[in-house]
Amino acid sequence: MGPEPVTTRHALLPQAGVTLGVMGGGQLGRMFVHAAQAMGYSTAVLDPDPHSPAGLVSHHHIVTAYDDPAGLAQLATLCAAVTTEFENVPAPALRTLAAHCVVSPPAAAVAVAQDRAQEKAHFVRCGVPCAPYALIETAAQLEAVPDALLPGILKTARMGYDGKGQVRVASRAALALAWESLDQVPCVLEKMLPLEAECSVLVARGADGVMVHFPVQRNLHRDGILAVTEVYESSVPTPLAAQAVAAAESIARGLDYLGLLCVEFFVLQDGSLVVNEIAPRPHNSGHYTLDACDQSQFTLQVRTLAGLPLTPPRQHSAAVMLNLLGDIWADGTPDWAGVLALPGTHLHLYGKAQARAGRKMGHLTVTAASAEQARAVALQAAQLLGIAAF
């Protein structure tokens, strides 16, 4: 298995010559790089795309595959500590890096997040409710699936995100066809539950076990991709929010986690809460923190990686975040002038040259003194951009 990451060390104080690295060059890596550089660190990105959004703004860009030994050796030589920006970074690569520098999140935690079966088992160990499920790796396990799990959602155990690798099934025949369409790879069948809403919690955990968290975020997904996040005092009822935070902290503690962790939940129609999945990295639903909080999720990612003190973040403005997908470029350049003429709008584009349907090109956060004001402006912006109302 190799050595696990270092979790006890002296803080890497911001100063010349201290370089923090990130595996992955997408928009999450780009925003991590900006946060690290604002605090005085040099940065390095490992990503195979020479035009990756994070690589374009970093001091160093190592253009190799994530499991390339030479690239990993170069990253380990440059960096005092390395983090990740997406959950499918190979866990063995993180173990290799951990022999030479601090790695956050730990390889073992990333390995759990990369496998839905391990992830579900971890939730059970932590005493956090999740949807009833069955593991399907063989034809015999397919035949043994209880009828009570149908209708359900068949999900590949590995490499699924943003709704990819998922098929809704209503019967045993449909389940068999769906498994075949997924090339009979290991899958998890989850029972479909009556949903009222979705929410998420961002938790930062330091090497000393100290944890801080952001407010609970209410989310709306369309076609498996996050569309809208709303965060204000009444977006999630207080008792439910407290339950979500406690569950997220239990999951992080059980993983002996180091870094920033997002835990996504379903709110059922009976008011109960079940965990959906974890993301061992910053999360799309936390982008509002750049404009609505005194610390962003990326600032806390830097702090956990560098071993700096964690202080509870404070939200100072009600916020609504709209995900900007490539679809809104279909008829030409969006009406940015009209959007930015609205009060409290904050536009973040990720530096991607080509807009495609379903591709995350940026986000727009609306901040205001009240939830009503934030929603009203966000709805105006959505109309200007051709985004469905919420």
pLDDT digits (tens, 9 = 90+) for 37-47: 999 999 999 99
| HSE-up (13 A, CA, CB side) for residue 227 | 18
In a domain, residue 164? The reply is yes
Which is more confidently placed, 191 or 1? 191
Statement to judge: residues 333 and 381 lie in one domain: yes
Instruction: Show which of 163, 191, 219 is a domain's final residue.
Output: 191
326-330-336-337 Cα dihedral, nearest 10 degrees: 180
pLDDT digits (tens, 9 = 90+) for 217-253: 999 999 889 999 999 988 999 999 999 999 999 999 9
> 2 pLDDT exceeds 60?
no
Statement to judge: residues 364 and 380 lie in one domain: yes
pLDDT cut 90: percent of the chain above it: 92
Statement to judge: residues 145 and 265 lie in one domain: no
pLDDT digits (tens, 9 = 90+) for 275-303: 999 999 999 999 999 999 999 999 999 99
Alpha helices in 99-203 (DSSP H): 107-113, 116-125, 139-143, 172-181
pLDDT digits (tens, 9 = 90+) for 334-377: 999 999 999 999 999 999 989 999 999 999 999 999 999 999 99
Statement to judge: residues 152 and 251 lie in one domain: no
pLDDT digits (tens, 9 = 90+) for 115-149: 999 999 999 999 999 999 999 999 999 999 999 99
* Residue 341 φ/ψ region, left for φ over 0, alpha for ψ in the -120 to 50 degree band, beta for the rest: alpha
| Best CA proximity match to 193, nearest among 278, 279, 274, 134 | 274
Statement to judge: residues 246 and 331 lie in one domain: yes
How many domains is the chain built from?
Answer: 3
The size of the chain, in residues, is: 390
In a domain, residue 291? The reply is yes
> 162 pLDDT exceeds 70?
no
In a domain, residue 8? The reply is no
pLDDT digits (tens, 9 = 90+) for 16-65: 789 999 999 999 999 999 999 999 999 999 999 999 999 999 999 999 99
**What is the CATH number for 359?**
3.30.470.20
**What is the CATH number for 140?**
3.30.1490.20
Which residues, including other chains, have CB under 8 Å from residue 253's CB and lie 6 or more apart? 126, 205, 209, 211
Instruction: Show which of 86, 113, 140 is a domain's final residue.
Output: 113
> 3 pLDDT exceeds 50?
no
> Do 19 and 43 contact (CB within 8 A), yes or no?
yes
pLDDT at 9: 59
pLDDT at 171: 95
Statement to judge: residues 227 and 371 lie in one domain: yes
Which is more confidently placed, 16 or 318? 318
In a domain, residue 99? The reply is yes
pLDDT tier at 178 (50, 70, 90 boundaries)? very high
* Structural domain boundaries, residue 76: 19-113
Which is more confidently placed, 200 or 166? 200
Statement to judge: residues 243 and 201 lie in one domain: yes
Instruction: Show which of 191, 213, 232 is a domain's final residue.
Output: 191
pLDDT at 161: 64
Statement to judge: residues 324 and 183 lie in one domain: no
**Across 381-388, average pLDDT:** 97
pLDDT at 4: 42
Report if pTM > 0.85: yes
Which residues, including other chains, have CB under 8 Å from residue 218's CB and lie 6 or more apart? 197, 198, 199, 229, 230, 231, 235, 236
| Main-chain phi, psi angles of 272, to 5 degrees | -85, 170
> 163 pLDDT exceeds 80?
no
> Do 48 and 106 contact (CB within 8 A), yes or no?
no
**What is the CATH number for 85?**
3.40.50.20
Statement to judge: residues 86 and 147 lie in one domain: no
pLDDT digits (tens, 9 = 90+) for 261-281: 999 999 999 999 999 999 999
> 8 pLDDT exceeds 90?
no
Query: Does 105 sit behind a cis peptide bond, omega within 30 degrees of 0 on the bond before it?
Result: yes
Statement to judge: residues 186 and 200 lie in one domain: no
In a domain, residue 13? The reply is no
Rg (CA), the chain: 21
pLDDT at 1: 35
In a domain, residue 308? The reply is yes
Q: Mean pLDDT lowest for which of 4-8, 112-116, 138-142, 206-210?
A: 4-8
pLDDT at 6: 39
Statement to judge: residues 235 and 287 lie in one domain: yes
Pairwise CA distance, residues 22 & 24, whole Å: 6
pLDDT at 10: 78
